[in-house]
Each structure stands twice: as structure tokens, then as C-alpha cells.
Amino acid sequence: MTERASAAAQPLPVRVVGGLGAVTLDVVQALGRFGRFLIQALTYIVIPPIKVGRIVERIHFIGFRSLTIVILTGAFTGMVLGLQIFLVLSRFGSEAFLGPAVALSLIRELGPVLCALIVTGRAGSALTAELGIMKISEQIDALTVMALNPRRYLIAPPIVAGIVTFPLMVALFDVVGIFGAYLIASQLLGMSDGTYFGEMNTFVDIADVMTGFWKALSFGVIVTWVCTYKGYYCGHGAEGVARATTQAVVLSSVLILVWDYFMGSVLP
């Protein structure tokens, strides 16, 4: 009797428990592999030989080539925030607090989250697709049989690039967003420069900036970790690459939001 036939002969409760056990084992194994993947990559970041050229190339790919979209989305996010927050504050006669409200929203929350989501869509998906194609066209195997460690070449550099570029991109997003809201406040709503920036100076302190920085840094790790993992372990053929890319974007986006909540509740 085959394994499948003998399993089918088991009573229903035993099959249900067996199925649950199998699923649990799969999940635990996948989580273990996911965690081990990051630990190995972090090891290759600090143990020589460090692939400086690859790191610079990945910084260019993830950071520099995302600048346009980061500036564009930052500007419009700030403009929308300026408009909407002004409408809310005007109901309480507190328009003077527009500057700090925009700045705090962007620096603590919206800047890191929106920037990470946008970079996931632009660079994260491309990272997954690139690695997936390398996997199915045996380029990763080629590195392995050259006695070169593919994780040192393909995984560690994007993670370093994520750590370096995400805080910088988020800072740019915040600045552009604050000036986008300022444009609306000064040109459309008639607010003076002093009111907008003066109150901001009073209410925003370094702890808020550091909250945004730590979020950006951790999102940089999350996005590059998830996207490289999904590409490295993608399935077969074009369908496998497509599925891996979708999963990478969805999982990265969900983890960004979950981790944002966690960081928001832990950091001051």
C-alpha cells in the first residue's frame, strides 16, 4: 500500500491532526530558512572579502534610481497633508500648528512608511525578478560551481544598500514633503513662513527624527531581505518568477506596516 493510500485509510480526526502537523512543520521550516538567510547575509556583510563594487552598484540601483519617484511622491504627500491638516485645524482655530503637524506626521510615520512602500514597488520587485531570472537561467548555479558564494555576491550587497539608502531616501522624502506642504500653506492658504517653520522648530525634536531614522533603517533591511529571499528561492519558469515577485511585494508591504506599528509602540 502506498503512503498516500495508507494516509487516506486513517480516521478523519487523525488525518486533520496529521495535516495540521505537516502545515506547522512547513511553516516552522520556512521561517527557520527565512531567518537563517538573513543571518548568513549579515555575516557576509562583515566578513571579508567585502564586495565594495557590488555594494556601490546596488546603492545606485536601489537609491539613486529611486530618487525621482521618492521626490515626486514626497512632494504630493506633503501637499495633500498641508491641505487636509489645514482644513481640520481650521475647525479648531489652530492653523498655526500646521507646520509641526505636517512635520511630525512625515518624520515619524508617513515618510518612512510611504517611502518604503514606494521603493518596494520600484526596486524591491526588480531585485526579486532579477534574482529569480538568475536562478532559473542557472546563473546562481554558475556562481556556486565557480566556488564563489552566491549569497556574498547577490544577497549581502542589496541588504547593505538598503541599510545605507533607506534613511537617506526617507530624509529626502520628509524634506520634500515639508516643503510641499509649505508651498500649499504659503501660496494657497496664505500662511506666513514664520508661522509655518517657527512652530515646527518648537514641536519637533531629535527623538522624532530618530524614530523616523530607525524605522527607515529597519525597513531597508526588511525590504531587501524579503525581496532577495523570494528571488533566491523562486519557483520554476516565468510563472515562478512572477509569483515570487508578487509575494515579495505583498509580504514586504505587510511587514512594513506591521513593523511600523511595533516600532511606533516601542520607540519614544
Cell 558564494 belongs to 149
Residue 1 is a binding residue for other proteins (CB under 8 A) = no
Nearer to other proteins, 138 or 205 (CB): 138
Which stretch in 31-39, 62-70, 144-152, 217-225 sits in contact with other proteins by CB under 8 A? 144-152
173: left (phi over 0), alpha (psi -120 to 50) or beta: alpha
Residue 39 is a binding residue for other proteins (CB under 8 A) = no
Whether residue 223 contacts residue 249, with contact meaning beta carbons closer than 8 Å, is answered with: no
Give me the least distance between CB of 151 and other proteins, in Å please: 11
Q: Which of 161, 58, 174 is nearest to 112 (CA)?
A: 174
Residue 138 is a binding residue for other proteins (CB under 8 A) = yes
Cell 547593505 belongs to 160
Q: Which of 80, 70, 77, 75 is nearest to 110 (CA)?
A: 77
Residue 148 is a binding residue for other proteins (CB under 8 A) = yes
Nearer to other proteins, 4 or 91 (CB): 4
**Amino acid code (one letter) for 252:** S
User: Within the chain, what is the greatest distance between any pair of CA atoms?
Assistant: 84
Residue 26 is a binding residue for other proteins (CB under 8 A) = no
Q: Which of 61, 70, 69, 60 is nearest to 175 (CA)?
A: 70
Residue 201 is a binding residue for other proteins (CB under 8 A) = no
Residue 206 is a binding residue for other proteins (CB under 8 A) = no
Q: Is the peptide bond before 150 cis (omega within 30 degrees of 0)?
A: no
Out of 137, 192, 201, 246, point to the residue binding other proteins (CB under 8 A).
137
**Amino acid code (one letter) for 186:** S
Nearer to other proteins, 40 or 195 (CB): 40
Size of the site for other proteins (CB under 8 A): 13
Give me the least distance between CB of 148 and other proteins, in Å please: 6
Residue 141 is a binding residue for other proteins (CB under 8 A) = yes
Residue 46 is a binding residue for other proteins (CB under 8 A) = no
Residue 238 is a binding residue for other proteins (CB under 8 A) = no
Residue 146 is a binding residue for other proteins (CB under 8 A) = yes
- DSSP codes joined into one string, 77-112: HHHHHHHHHHHHHHHTT-GGGHHHHHHHIIIIIIHH
Residues that bind other proteins (CB under 8 A): 3, 133-134, 137-139, 141-142, 144-148
